[in-house]
Amino acid sequence: MNQIAKIKELERKIGYKFRNFNLLVMAVRHSSYTNEHKQERLECNERLEFLGDAVLEAVSSEFLYQNFPEKPEGELTKMRASLVCEPTLAYDAREIALGSYLLLGKGEEATGGRGRDSITSDAFEAVIGAIFLDGGFANAKEFVLAHVLDDVEHKQLFYDSKTILQELIQGKHEQLSYELIDESGPDHDKQFTVAVLVDGERVSEGEGHTKKAAEQQAAYQALLLYRNRE
């Protein structure tokens, strides 16, 4: 499948038909691709990401204001931060397999760029920006509601799962700790696996390209277990 046909597949997946299809192509074009193909820097997705970030913040702010009338400004700010942070948006990007549609340079491709949270989350915001430019605020809002604001309760946990887990078990258990149980891959593309230990008992595991990311993922999995038990 050629690049355009593949990106057409993404268009069908996100459920929005572009009038200017080039905007979607730009949204998935990483700077490593433009550098490698001697294109102008402005042809990559960074400007669309900038725009999408602003649209995302506006939509999520309105959504939280309308749906959580009992919460004060400080709590709403924290909730919004959890929904628009890099790990959450990377999760949203994985839900539509956005990484598989990205246009990357060979170097970025070789070092695992398609699975890197920083790249996929930026591309996700660029898609929002592309929809906004092509179809206006209403269409961009519809996309955000469907793909970002569809599971607020669980996605809040992505923001700082370690802190939330610490608060959850505080006073109930003796000790919360994290154990590195595996480290693999070359230096430029490390994969870490970390376990959460509660009172010395392994509760959950998480993976990531950094130890911190693996710890957050492990803490998130532990939170899901505790919430399901409740």
Show which residues are catalytic.
53, 125
Q: Report the candidate in 182, 173, 183 with the shortest Cα–Cα distance to residue 203.
A: 173
CB 93 within 8 A of CB 182: no
Question: What CA dihedral angle connects 103, 104, 110 and 112, to 10 degrees?
Answer: -80
- Phi first, then psi, for residue 137 (nearest 5°) are -65, -40
DSSP state string for 122-138:
HHHHHHHHHHHHHH-HH
Give the sheet arrangement for strand 201-208, strand by strand: 176-184, 191-198, 201-208
Residue whose tokens read 């376990």: 195
Tokens of 93: 């990007």
CB 89 within 8 A of CB 125: yes
Q: What is the C-alpha separation between 228 and 224, in angstroms, rounded?
A: 6
CB 211 within 8 A of CB 180: yes
Question: What CA dihedral angle connects 113, 117, 118 and 124, to 10 degrees?
Answer: 100
